[in-house]
Amino acid sequence: MKKSLMWRGAGPRLQILVGALMLICPTIATAQTEPDGLVTHVEVPLDNALPETLTGPASFEPMPPSGPLSEMRRSLNAAGFDLGVLFANLFQYAPSYGLTPGKTANFGAVSFTATADLEALISVPHTRLKIIETVNFPTHNADTFLFTLSNAFNPSPVVDSRTDLTRFTIQTDLLNDRLHIEGGRMGLAIDFMKRGTCGGLGCFNSTQAVSVGLPGVALASWGGRVAYDLSSTLTTQFGIIDDNETNWQNGSGWDWGRGNSQGYIAIWNLSRSSDFMRDRLPLTYEVGAFRRSASYVDPVSNTDGSSHVLNPGGTPRTYSGGTNGVYGQARKVIWRTPASDEPIFPENIAIYGGAFSVFGEGQAYPFEGFAGIDWGGFWSKNPVANVGVSVHLLRLSEERAQYEREIRLVTSGLDQRQPKNTYALEAHGRLGLGRWAIAELAADYYINPNNSVIPGPRQSDGWMLTSALIVDIGSALGLAPASR
């Protein structure tokens, strides 16, 4: 069965592998990443931040990773191996939203990460082999839930295999670990158009899927990436992958010869990272540009100007110039308690926003944007606790709106106009659960949702409730990678 390229609704499903974990990084200074920005584990000192009746006296002294497998970790690290295990689970309930309201679904994923230091193993300097395998478990109603939503905010009718190869690459780090070159089976969704600007789902862009056509976070294609650290906080990088939907949409990701290339997908970005250890009022941002070389079909027009909905015998108009666009997103802390009060997790207010623009005639979704505000650090016993609100806009082109009106008329006999502007209004919150776990809750209200996959009557505005749980099993067991 096919994994639709429009994977963001499962993005809630697939993004929780890494993307949802990245949600906590604006607040957690001890999140450990590889040089490419891939989170391998996160140490959340919440055992020291929860009520003392549960955990003992409060303290923010750093604690080394420990657990029943810590001796194994030390032996593996000495031999040149790092291991990690992350579990992420997302439950969604649409009480008044979708083609058939009242449905629920559960999307779970366990990712197993193994990194081998090839310098230690076979004397290849500054080089590592990285493998990530994702097991899609536990799941409930995963095959049909997103079909019932069928709109560009949740555009992914995904029928997954039980497992997915997420990464199988060789990476070399040069120039004192400032230049990073990686190639193999990989995706670009982790390193570009990044998640983590906000809590909840309000900043999870759909442009990655509906316009750029990137594989989901847990999926891989042939590709490569070059990154250069301009400073300790500023990085520029360029990535390119093979545009072969048949290959990454089908199976477990190990059949590397399946399908035919349609061209390439390339993205460049410049990103800044920050936290309260570096800046009193942290600023993070990412700006970038993307190109998909494959041709695309006009949403509604034939070559003779007729509609391919009303005149299905015509030849759809095709654009051969590919898809191009630019984007930018940022998060800025605008207020915090005095620095002397709490250097790592101060009470703070942050604002954030982003915009994604797709160029060219005949694009279905030419613009997407979001903005919001978060309040964090207000609970000293649980410093990663965070609440916030956001608004998210996804704009349909005139042609796409016309197509949906015409397909409704043909399939349902209803002449219902589709508004071009669709919105998601969200309230979200986050809570630490012990040292290695994070819970996230979100309530989204969708306005003017379109019908991106299944034609039919206009969908009503409605609510989507989401809960996510992220557990760093590897660190809890003592398998956390050694500090680099």
pLDDT of residue 40: 36
Residue 155 has pLDDT above 80, yes or no: no
Band (435; pLDDT cuts 50, 70, 90)? confident
Residue 358 has a pLDDT of 98
- pLDDT for the residue numbered 64: 57
Spatial separation of the C-alpha atoms in residues 413 and 133, rounded to whole Å: 47
In a domain, 24, yes or no: yes
CATH number for position 380: 2.40.160.180
The C-alpha atoms of residue 454 and residue 146 are separated, in whole angstroms, by 11
Q: How far apart are CA 19 and CA 13, in angstroms?
A: 10
Averaged confidence pLDDT in the chain:
84
Q: Which structural domain range is residue 250 located in?
A: 11-476
pLDDT tens-digit series, residues 250-271: 888 998 988 999 999 999 999 9
| Structure confidence at residue 481 (pLDDT) | 54
Q: Residue 6 domain-assigned?
A: no
Q: Is 60 exceeded by the pLDDT of residue 48? A: no
Structural domain contains residue 4: no
Asked if residue 254 is part of any domain, the answer here is yes
Say whether pLDDT at 137 is over 70. yes
Q: How far apart are CA 206 and CA 219, in angstroms?
A: 16
Q: What is the pLDDT of residue 65?
A: 58
Q: pTM here?
A: 0.87
Asked if residue 82 lies in contact with residue 41, where contact means CB atoms within 8 angstroms, the answer is no
CA distances from 157 to 16, 320, 359, 453, 470 (A): 17, 27, 26, 8, 23
Q: With respect to residue 5, please indicate whether it lies within any of the assigned structural domains.
A: no
Backbone torsions φ then ψ of 62, nearest 5 degrees: -65, 140
Question: Which residues are CB-contacts of 183 (< 8 A; sequence separation ≥ 6)?
Answer: 169, 170, 223, 224, 225
pLDDT value for 159: 52
| Number of structural domains the chain divides into | 1
Report if residue 483 sits inside a domain. no
Instruction: Kindly indicate the confidence band of residue 29, based on its pLDDT and cuts at 50, 70 and 90.
Output: very low
Q: Classify residue 3: in a domain, yes or no.
A: no
Q: How far apart are CA 45 and CA 28, in angstroms?
A: 9
- For 193-242, what is each residue's pLDDT tens digit? 987 788 888 889 999 999 999 998 889 999 999 999 999 999 999 999 99
What pLDDT is attached to residue 160?
60
In a domain, 255, yes or no: yes
Which range is least confidently modeled, 62-66, 152-156, 312-316, 424-428? 62-66
For residues 23 and 364, give the distance between their C-alpha atoms in angstroms, rounded to a whole number: 28
